[in-house]
């Protein structure tokens, strides 16, 4: 499915309303991403799931979830970014970068390139393409049905 992002072609009338809608979409996308990400973290490395996207996208996703501050470990403490990234890499059979926060930061700062920040692409898949769980599409394996948030 293809769509046109109307930022370039839109008129100034109603532009603030359009920006407000985008902000709300990104906020909702962040919440859904957190749900999907936690569902992935609950899987075991033995479940045979693999990440098909880039390591940078995975680190960006982990960083978005971390900055929301809503994911807690088994003891009720908010998870650190490093812990989220390490667990995601373990479950998805990806090598953890030496400096995951630098990789996430580089990904989030992408501007003026054909591939924008992960959260913007995630929101576009949700709201413009109608994909209910975009993160699930970046995971392959025999137990991907378990990745759905419950």
Interacting residues of 74 by C-beta distance below 8 A, sequence separation 6+: none
In a domain, 85, yes or no: yes
In a domain, 134, yes or no: no
Q: What is the pLDDT of residue 79?
A: 92
Tally of structural domains, the chain: 1
In a domain, 17, yes or no: no
Least confident of 9-13, 41-45, 129-133: 9-13
| CA 21 – CA 29 distance, rounded (Å) | 12
Q: What is the pLDDT of residue 7?
A: 46
CA 91 centroid distance within chain: 16
Name beta bridge partners: 140. Answer: 50
Report the predicted TM-score, pTM, of the whole model to 2 decimal places.
0.77
**Does the structure show a pLDDT above 70 at 111?**
no
Instruction: Supply the range of the domain harboring residue 71.
Output: 27-123
């Amino acid at each position: 499915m293809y769509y046109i992002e109307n930022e370039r072609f839109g008129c100034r009338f109603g532009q603030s309303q359009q920006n407000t809608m985008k902000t709300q979409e990104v906020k909702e996308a962040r919440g859904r991403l957190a749900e999907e990400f936690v569902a992935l973290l609950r899987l075991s490395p033995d479940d045979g799931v693999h990440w098909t996207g880039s390591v940078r996208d995975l680190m960006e996703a982990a960083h978005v979830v971390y900055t929301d501050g809503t994911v807690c470990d088994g003891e009720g403490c908010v998870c650190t970014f490093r812990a989220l990234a390490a667990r995601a890499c373990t479950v998805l059979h990806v090598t953890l970068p030496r400096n995951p926060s630098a990789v996430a930061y580089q990904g989030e700062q992408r501007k003026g390139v054909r591939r924008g920040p992960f959260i913007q692409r995630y929101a576009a898949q949700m709201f413009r393409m109608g994909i209910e769980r975009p993160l699930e599409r970046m995971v392959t394996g025999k137990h991907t049905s378990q990745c759905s948030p419950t």
